[in-house]
Structure 1
Amino acid sequence: MSEPRKILSLQPSTKTPEEREAEALALLTLAIGRKQCVRWTYNEVDMEAAPQAVYLKKESLYCDAVVTHRNGVKSKELKLGSFRLSGLKGIKLSENGSELWPDIQLSDGRYGVIIAAWGQT
Structure 2
Amino acid sequence: MTDAKIILQAIANNQCIVVTYNRMQLKLAPHILYSRHGAPFLDAVAVEREGKELSDPRLGTFKLAGLQDVAIIERSFKFMIGFDASDPKYAEAPAD
TM-score by length of 1: 0.72
Match of 1:43 in 2: 22
Q: Considering fraction of residues, name the structure with more strand.
A: 2
Amino acid at match of 2:51: G
| Correspondence for 2:6 | 27
| Alignment partner of 1:93 is 2:64 | no
| 2:2 match: secondary structure | helix
- Using the size of structure 2 for normalisation, the TM-score is 0.90
Q: Which residue of 1 aligns with 2:51?
A: 72
- Bigger Rg, which one: 1
Q: Partners of 1:30 and 1:43 in 2: how far apart? A: 23
Partner of 1:15: none
Aligned to 2:63: 84
Letter aligned with residue 34 of structure 1: N
Rounded Cα–Cα distance in structure 2 between residues aligned with 1:30 and 1:109: 23
Provide the C-alpha distance between the structure 2 equivalents of 1:91 and 1:107, rounded to a whole number of angstroms.
25
Q: 1:110: which partner in 2? A: 89
3-state secondary structure, aligned to 1:107: coil
Aligned position for 1:52 = 31
**Identity, % of aligned pairs?**
27
SS in 2 for 1:78: coil
Structure 1 gaps of 5+ residues are 1-21, 114-121
| Structure 2 stretches lacking a partner, 5+ long | none
Aligned length: 92
Q: CA deviation at 1:90?
A: 0.5
> Amino acid of the residue matched to residue 62 of structure 1?
F
Structure 2 letter corresponding to 1:44: R
Task: Name the SS for the 1:51 alignment partner.
Answer: strand
Which one-letter code corresponds to 2:40 in the other structure? L
Equivalent residue letter for 1:63? L
AA in 1 matched with 2:11: I
